[in-house]
């Protein structure tokens, strides 16, 4: 899914596109009856896996859930697809659920420090946030 909106601050216009690239497109059956002997008539789906979502991008925010380790593994895989000239913020959400944490801060920081990126590549930053209490969200506006 892609959500687009423009945000006006003073004289600058910021175009924001949000892509949910974790979910896969689901193949949908077309309307109509299907006989047992017919092949399924499936509608094609558009999936971010097949689109260059980073084309024309000025920055990327990858969000992981500290209570779900698979989201961190996903960020590790997806980060390799981001062109080296695009800065990235890895934002860990649900900081307010510390008691359920399965992704350690040190683990993510070590992962970033050990990335095999050239010295002229854009930076990769790490931050933690809570949508519940707003912790860390001001960091995004810097």
Condensed to tens digits (0 to 9), the pLDDT of residues 19-31 reads 665 555 555 555 5
Q: What digits encode the pLDDT tens for the residues 31-86? A: 555 555 555 555 555 555 667 778 888 888 899 999 999 999 989 988 988 899 99
**CA distance linking residue 27 with residue 70, whole number of Å:** 24
**CA distance linking residue 27 with residue 30, whole number of Å:** 9
Does position 15 have pLDDT exceeding 90, yes or no? no
Q: Would you state the pLDDT for residue 48?
A: 58
**CA distance linking residue 121 with residue 135, whole number of Å:** 29
Q: What digits encode the pLDDT tens for the residues 83-142? A: 999 999 999 998 889 899 999 999 999 999 999 899 999 999 999 988 787 787 777 666
Q: Are 117 and 124 in contact (CB under 8 A)?
A: yes
pTM value > 0.85: no
For residue 2, name the pLDDT band (cuts at 50, 70, 90). Answer: very low
């Amino acid at each position: 899914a892609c959500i687009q909106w423009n945000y006006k601050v003073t004289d600058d216009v910021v175009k924001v596109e949000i892509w949910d690239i974790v979910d896969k497109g689901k193949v949908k059956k077309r309307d109509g009856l299907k006989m047992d002997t017919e092949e399924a008539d499936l509608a094609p789906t558009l999936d971010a896996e097949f689109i260059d979502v980073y084309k024309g991008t000025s920055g990327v925010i990858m969000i992981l859930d500290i209570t779900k380790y698979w989201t961190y593994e996903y960020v590790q895989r997806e980060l390799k697809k981001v062109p080296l000239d695009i800065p990235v913020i890895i934002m860990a959400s649900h900081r307010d659920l510390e008691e359920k944490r399965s992704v350690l801060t040190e683990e993510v920081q070590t992962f970033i420090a050990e990335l095999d990126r050239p010295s002229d590549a854009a930076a990769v930053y790490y931050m933690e946030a809570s949508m519940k209490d707003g912790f860390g969200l001001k960091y995004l506006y810097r």
